[in-house]
C-alpha cells in the first residue's frame, strides 16, 4: 500500500439458502482468511447473508430481520480488523424491501449501497420482491447511527487518497447506463459488484469481457464476487465466477463451479496516472448527488505482489498474439514509409546496412513498403560501410541479407576518409575516444545522404526507440535520416520483429542469416575487434536493454517515480537481476534520459507503433535542459535503503 498497491479479494462462501446464521459464520471465516492473506478490501456476493434464491421467502419478516441481526454480528466482529468488506443482504426501509450491499470497516457500518436496476425478465423476477434504490443517498438511522442509503456513495480512504470505492449490484453493470459510470465520473477508482449471475453455456465469456471492458472504459479497478454453490438449484445453477480486473486486464479469475476466494493487488497509482494522462477522462464533482464516507486503512508494505508484472511490457506473452502484433507493427512501419515515398515521388531508398538488428529491421520494412508501392526492390540501395570495427560476421550477414531481399548492394569503405579526417583534426588513430567513434558514425551518415542525393533517394533511419531514450546515437550521425522507421520500436521488440520475419518468410537461407543476426551481440562496431570478434558490446556499456525498455515503459507510459519502477522491476526480474544491478542501470537510464533530450528534440519523422513514443511532435514534449536531480536523488536513496 505504501507504493499505491492494495490487495483486494472477491469471495464466494459456502452458504445455505435462507440460513443467515450459517451464512454469517461462513462470511466471517472468509474475512479472516482474506485478512491473513493481506486483503484490505473484500467483496461478497449479492444477498449473500440469505442466499439469492430465497424467492417468496423474502416476504418473511423473520428472514429479513435475521439477516439484519447477522449484519450487526459481522459489524461487531469486524472491530479491530483492518478490512473494508461488502456483503449483500435484503433490507427493509419505509415499508419496502431493497437489495443492498453493506459496506463495513472496523466495527462500523459505513453505507448501505442499493441496487438500482431490478431485472424482471427470463429467469429473474426480482421486482416481485425488491424496489429500486435511490440514486441520491438518503440518511437512514440504524442501530444508533446515521447511515447513507442509496447508490451515490463514495468511500474514501483518508491515508490512501487514490482509493475511492463505489458499488453496484449485479444487473447494474449489465444495463445500458451502469451506475459505475457516474461513480467513476465522481472520482471512484475501484468499483465493487456484489453479484448473483447464474450460469448458462457460454455466459462466463461475456461476463469476463463485460467486467474487463467496464474496468477499461472507466479506467478503474473492478471487483465482482458472484454467487456460487449453495444457492438453490431448483431452476438455476450459480458458478461462483469471481473476477478482479484493472483497466481492461483481468488480474484474477476464479474457477467456475468451485466456491472460494481470489486475491489480486490493484495498482491505484497506475489507475490515477492513466486518468491524468487521458484528457478525455473528465471527473465531475456532483456533491448534491453523492455522500462521501471516510475511512482509514493501515499502510502496510506488500512484500510480494499478487499481480503479473511483465518484464517485457512491449511484447505480448502469447505466441499467437505476439505474431499478430509483429505483423501489425511491420505493416504500420511500412505504411508510414509508403506514404512518405509516395508523397515525395521518391522511388529510391538508401539504407545503411551493418549486419546488426536495427538496420536489418529497417531494410525489411523498406522492402515491404516497396512491395506495397510495386517498386522493384532493386531500387533499394543497401550500403555497407566497413571501417575499423567491422567484423567479417556482420559484413557477410549484411551482404547476404541484401542479396536475399533483392536490393542493390553498394560497398563504401570509409577507413581512408575517416583517417584523412583524423589527420585534418590532428587526432591520433590510437586515441579511441568519442571522437574516434563519432567520426565514423558521421562519415557513414554523410555517405548515405550524398548517395541519396545522387540517386534521388531517401535515407531510411535505422535507430530504435531504446537508443533514442538513452541518447545512444551520434548526434547528426546515425541520429539523422530522412524517415526513421524504427523510431518508436524498442530494442526488445526489434528482436521479435526480426525473428517473426525469419519464421514467416518461407526462405531457409534468409531465415538462417536473420537468425545469425539475432545471435550477434548488439554493437555499434566503432572500436577495432579483438581476434576478429566484436569487442564493443553495447549492453556492457549502457546496460541490458530489457531493463532499459522496462524503465522506459513505466516512466513514459505512467509517469512513475523511481521507487515504484524499482519495486516493479524487482518483481519482474526476480531471479534474473538483483536489486543492486537494477538500481545501477535505473540511475544510468535517468541520467542519460535527461541529458540526451536534445537529440530527441530534433528527431526525423517516423511512425508511432505502440503506446509509448519519444517524438517531440507527439508523445514527449520535454525540455532539453530539464534537471534530473530529484529523480536521481530518489534512486540514490533506494540504493541506501537496499532491497525490500
Q: Supply the residues annotated as catalytic.
A: 46, 115, 170
| Spatial distance between the Cα atoms of 410 and 388, rounded to a whole number of angstroms | 18
In order of 23, 123, 228, 260, the CA distances from 257 in angstroms are: 18, 19, 7, 10
474 is in an annotated binding site: yes
Which segments of 235-318 does DSSP mark as H helices, in order? 268-277
> In Å, how far are 134, 247, 277, 328 from 284, measured between CA atoms?
20, 20, 16, 37
**Residue 442 and residue 306: Cα distance in Å, rounded?**
49
Which residues are within 8 A (CB) of 257 and not within 5 positions of it... i.e. 6 or more apart?
199, 228, 229, 237, 239, 240
**The pairing of beta strand 458-461 with beta strand 249-253:** unpaired
The answer to whether 74 and 117 are in contact (CB under 8 A) is: no
Cα–Cα distance between 550 and 527 in angstroms, integer?
A: 28
Query: Is 475 flagged in the annotation as binding?
Result: yes
Ligand-binding site membership of 353 (annotated): yes
Q: For residue 346, which of 338, 354, 357 has the smallest C-alpha distance? A: 338
CA distance 344 to 322: 33
Count of positions (residues) in the chain: 644
Is 356 annotated for ligand binding? yes
Residue 357 annotated in ligand binding: yes
Do the annotations mark residue 413 as ligand-binding?
Answer: no
Lateral strand order in the sheet of 145-150: 138-142, 145-150, 108-114, 96-105, 84-93, 41-43, 5-12, 260-267
Q: Is 197 annotated as a binding residue?
A: yes
In the β-sheet with 190-195, what is the strand arrangement from edge to edge?
249-253, 243-246, 221-226, 190-195, 164-169, 153-157, 291-295
Question: C-alpha angle 131/137/140, rounded to 5°?
Answer: 85
Contacts for 345 with CB less than 8 Å, ≥ 6 apart:
none
Q: Is 220:191 a contact under the CB 8 Å cutoff? A: yes
User: Which H or E run includes 468?
Assistant: helix 465-470
**Is 554 annotated to bind ligand?**
no
* 225-to-88, 512, 524, 576 alpha-carbon distances in Å: 10, 52, 54, 36
Check whether 473 is labelled as a binding-site residue. yes
Is 467 annotated to bind a ligand? Reply is: yes
User: 620: annotated binding-site residue?
Assistant: no
For residues 490 and 468, the answer to whether their CB atoms sit within 8 Å is: no
Binding site for L-glutamine: residue ranges? 121, 197, 203
Binding site for ATP: residue ranges? 352-359, 462
Binding site for deamido-NAD(+): residue ranges? 438, 467, 472-475, 599
Binding site: residue ranges? 121, 197, 203, 352-359, 438, 462, 467, 472-475, 599
Amino acid at each position: 500500500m505504501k507504493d499505491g498497491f492494495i490487495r483486494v479479494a472477491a469471495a464466494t462462501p459456502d452458504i445455505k439458502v435462507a440460513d443467515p446464521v450459517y451464512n454469517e459464520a461462513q462470511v466471517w471465516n472468509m474475512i479472516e482468511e482474506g485478512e491473513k492473506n493481506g486483503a484490505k478490501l473484500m467483496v461478497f456476493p449479492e444477498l449473500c447473508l440469505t442466499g439469492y434464491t430465497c424467492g417468496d421467502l423474502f416476504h418473511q419478516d423473520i428472514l429479513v430481520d435475521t439477516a439484519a441481526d447477522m449484519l450487526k454480528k459481522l459489524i461487531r466482529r469486524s472491530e479491530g480488523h483492518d478490512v473494508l468488506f461488502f456483503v449483500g443482504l435484503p433490507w427493509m426501509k419505509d415499508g419496502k424491501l431493497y437489495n443492498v450491499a453493506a459496506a463495513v470497516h472496523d466495527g462500523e457500518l459505513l453505507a448501505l449501497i442499493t441496487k438500482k436496476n431490478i431485472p424482471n425478465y427470463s429467469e429473474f423476477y426480482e421486482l416481485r420482491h425488491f424496489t429500486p434504490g435511490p440514486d441520491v443517498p438518503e440518511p437512514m438511522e440504524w442501530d444508533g447511527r446515521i447511515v447513507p442509503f442509496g447508490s451515490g456513495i463514495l468511500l474514501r480512504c483518508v491515508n490512501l487518497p487514490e482509493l475511492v470505492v463505489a458499488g453496484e449490484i449485479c444487473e447494474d453493470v449489465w444495463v445500458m447506463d451502469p451506475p459505475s459510470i457516474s461513480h467513476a465520473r465522481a472520482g471512484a477508482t475501484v468499483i465493487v459488484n456484489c453479484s448473483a449471475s447464474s450460469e448458462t453455456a457460454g455466459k462466463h465469456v461475456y461476463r469476463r469481457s463485460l467486467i474487463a471492458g467496464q474496468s477499461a472504459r472507466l479506467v478503474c479497478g473492478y471487483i465482482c464476487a458472484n454467487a456460487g454453490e449453495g444457492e438453490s438449484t431448483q431452476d438455476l445453477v450459480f458458478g461462483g465466477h469471481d473476477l478482479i480486473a484493472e483497466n481492461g486486464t483481468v488480474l484474477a479469475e476464479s474457477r467456475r463451479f468451485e466456491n472460494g476466494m481470489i486475491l489480486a493487488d490493484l495498482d491505484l497509482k497506475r489507475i490515477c496516472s492513466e486518468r491524468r494522462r487521458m484528457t478525455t477522462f473528465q471527473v465531475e464533482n456532483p456533491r448534491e448527488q453523492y455522500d462521501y464516507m471516510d475511512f482509514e486503512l493501515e499502510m502496510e508494505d506488500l512484500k510480494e505482489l499478487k499481480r503479473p508484472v511483465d518484464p517485457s511490457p512491449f511484447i505480448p506473452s502469447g505466441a499467437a498474439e505476439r505474431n499478430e502484433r509483429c505483423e501489425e507493427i511491420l505493416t504500420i512501419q511500412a505504411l508510414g514509409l509508403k506514404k512518405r515515398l509516395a508523397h515525395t515521388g521518391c522511388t529510391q531508398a538508401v539504407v545503411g546496412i551493418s549486419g546488426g538488428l536495427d538496420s536489418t529491421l529497417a531494410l525489411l520494412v523498406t522492402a515491404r513498403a516497396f512491395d506495397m508501392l510495386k517498386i522493384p526492390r532493386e531500387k533499394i540501395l543497401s550500403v555497407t560501410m566497413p571501417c575499423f570495427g567491422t567484423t567479417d560476421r556482420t559484413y557477410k550477414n549484411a551482404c547476404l541479407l541484401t542479396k536475399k531481399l533483392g536490393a542493390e548492394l553498394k560497398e563504401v569503405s570509409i577507413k581512408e576518409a575517416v583517417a584523412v579526417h583524423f589527420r585534418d583534426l590532428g587526432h591520433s588513430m590510437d586515441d579511441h575516444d568519442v571522437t574516434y567513434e563519432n567520426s565514423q558514425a558521421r562519415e557513414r551518415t554523410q555517405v548515405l545522404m550524398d548517395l541519396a542525393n545522387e540517386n534521388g533517394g531517401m535515407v531510411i533511419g535505422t535507430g530504435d526507440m531504446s537508443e533514442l531514450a538513452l541518447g545512444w546515437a551520434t548526434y547528426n550521425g546515425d541520429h539523422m535520416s530522412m524517415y526513421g522507421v524504427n523510431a518508436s520500436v524498442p530494442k526488445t521488440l526489434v528482436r521479435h520483429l526480426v525473428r517473426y520475419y525469419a519464421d514467416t518468410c518461407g526462405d531457409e537461407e534468409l531465415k538462417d542469416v536473420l537468425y545469425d543476426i539475432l545471435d550477434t551481440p548488439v554493437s555499434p562496431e566503432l572500436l577495432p575487434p579483438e581476434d576478429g570478434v566484436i569487442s564493443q558490446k553495447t549492453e556492457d556499456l549502457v546496460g541490458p536493454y530489457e531493463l532499459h525498455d522496462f524503465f522506459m515503459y513505466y516512466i513514459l507510459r505512467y509517469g512513475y517515480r523511481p521507487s515504484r519502477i524499482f519495486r516493479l522491476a524487482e518483481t519482474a526480474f526476480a531471479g534474473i537481476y538483483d536489486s543492486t544491478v537494477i538500481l545501477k542501470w535505473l540511475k544510468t537510464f535517468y541520467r542519460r534520459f535527461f541529458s540526451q533530450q536534445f537529440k530527441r528534440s530534433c528527431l526525423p519523422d517516423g511512425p508511432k507503433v505502440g503506446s509509448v513514443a519519444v517524438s517531440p511532435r507527439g508523445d514527449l514534449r520535454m525540455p532539453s535542459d530539464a534537471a534530473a536531480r530529484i529523480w536521481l536523488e530518489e534512486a540514490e536513496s533506494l540504493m541506501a535503503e537496499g532491497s525490500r
